[in-house]
Amino acid sequence: MLDQAEGYVTQDGRKIGGVVMEMRNITLRFGGVEAIKDISFDIREGEIRAIIGPNGAGKSSMLNVISGFYIPQVGEVWYKGAKRPALKPYQVARQGIARTFQNIALFEGMTVLDNVMTGRLTHMKTGLWRQAIWRGAAETEETANREVAERIIDFLEIQSIRKTPVARLPYGLKKRVELARALAAEPSLLLLDEPMAGMNVEEKEDMSRFILDVNDEFGTTIALIEHDMGVVMDLSDRVVVMDYGKKIGDGTPEEVRNNQDVIDAYLGVSHD
């Protein structure tokens, strides 16, 4: 069904482009444990790609491979048409990949605005000295960056907590602030690690809407890990299913839903 070279058109009529990132036969080991076993898949421009699977399936490890935090022992990561060498996290960030964390990793003592501004770090060119005296280029740059940050604050509807220290915010809002910080980097690929974990239904709905809006408004390619099957099926264009480090399914939510291996992995299967 997929045209490998040209991309495809989703059910709701969005045009998905060529391959942005490709995983080729990735295997990742921690000592004797094989967290990921020979997995290949791709992520295409403009799509929302989900990685799902039961607990311990290796989803977070996979996301860490995509973000460049883990270097797989076997296999290649291809990004924007070139094989990616082993990189430091900041180098990955400069390549336009941003992420959020399962266990929120914000600067708790800083305000929401300051946290979002840290997402602009990769876009700041002036040196420490200039920034300290805040003259000329540094001033212009900060104004421009603040404008980007404010547009994202407006977009995610967190104006009312702009000046609130993050530590004082409830969980659901922290998640949204983290998304804001990731967006501030203006990433070409956004990685979300369980963006809806621990949320109630209303918060999940809000978050889903924001993820769709981000994809729609900025055309950001999104790869996300999620537990909640309902959310995944509604949100994503294509889904990779993992179980015990192996890929057991890959396709549209509809295809995955009807895949016998996936059903077995989620519902269990009798071994008689």
Partner 1 sequence: MNTRSESVDGPLSVPALLHRNANVFALEPAYREKEFGIWQTWTWSQTLEEIEALALGFVDLGVREGDFVAIIGRNRPHLYWAMVAAQMVGAVPVPLYQDAVAEEMAYVLGHCGARIVVAGDQEQVDKVIEIQDRLPDFEQMIYLDPRGLRKYDHARLHQYSHVQDAGRAKRDELLSEITARQAKLDYDSTCVMLYTSGTTGKPKGVVLSNRNVIETSKSSSEFDDLRQTDSILAYLPMAWVGDFIFSVGQAMWTGFCTNCPESAETMHNDLREIGPTYYFAPPRVFETQLTNVMIRMEDAGRFKKWLFDVFMAHARKVGPAILDGETVGLWDRWKYNLGELMIYGPLKNTLGFSRIRVGYTAGEAIGPEIFDFYRSLGINLKQLYGQTEATVFITAQPDGEVRSDTVGVSCPGVELRIAENGEVFYRSPGVFVEYYKNAESTAGTKDAEGWVATGDAGFIEEVTGHLRIIDRAKDVGQMANGALFAPKYVENKLKFFPNVLEVVVFGNGRDECTAFINIDLTAVGNWAERNNIGYASYQELARHPQVMDTIQSHVEEVNASLAQDEMLSGCQVHRFVVLHKELDADDGELTRTRKVRRRIIEEKYDDIIAALYDGSSSVSTVTEVTYEDGRKGSIAATLEVRSAEVFPVGQMIAAQ
- Interface positions with partner 1 (CB under 8 A): 13, 113, 146-147, 150-151, 153-155, 157, 159-160, 162, 213, 216-217
Q: Which is nearer to partner 1, 218 or 244 (CB)?
A: 218
Which residue type does 159 have?
Q
Shortest CB 153 distance to partner 1, Å: 7
Task: Answer yes or no: are the C-beta atoms of 176 and 210 closer than 8 Å.
Answer: yes
Shortest CB 141 distance to partner 1, Å: 17
Buried/exposed code over 176-208 (b: 16+ C-beta within 10 A; e: otherwise): bbbbbbbbbbbbbbbbbbbbbbebeeebbebbb
Beta bridge partners of 97: 189
Q: Quote the CA–CA distance of 199 and 171 in Å, as a whole number.
A: 8
Q: Which is nearer to partner 1, 116 or 231 (CB)?
A: 116
Other beta carbons less than 10 A from residue 225's beta carbon: 23
Q: Which is nearer to partner 1, 111 or 131 (CB)?
A: 111
Shortest CB 203 distance to partner 1, Å: 16
Residue 41, both tokens: 């898949």
Residue 135, both tokens: 């003259």
Q: Which is nearer to partner 1, 34 or 203 (CB)?
A: 203
Shortest CB 44 distance to partner 1, Å: 19
Q: Which is nearer to partner 1, 88 or 163 (CB)?
A: 163
Buried/exposed code over 45-59 (b: 16+ C-beta within 10 A; e: otherwise): bbbbbbbbbeeebbb
Shortest CB 236 distance to partner 1, Å: 18
Shortest CB 160 distance to partner 1, Å: 4
Residue 85, both tokens: 């060498």
Q: Which is nearer to partner 1, 83 or 163 (CB)?
A: 163
Nearest by Cα to 21 from 68, 88, 72: 68
Q: Quote the CA–CA distance of 242 and 221 in Å, as a whole number.
A: 21
Structure-token match 């797989």, residue found: 72
Q: Which is nearer to partner 1, 63 or 177 (CB)?
A: 177
Shortest CB 154 distance to partner 1, Å: 6
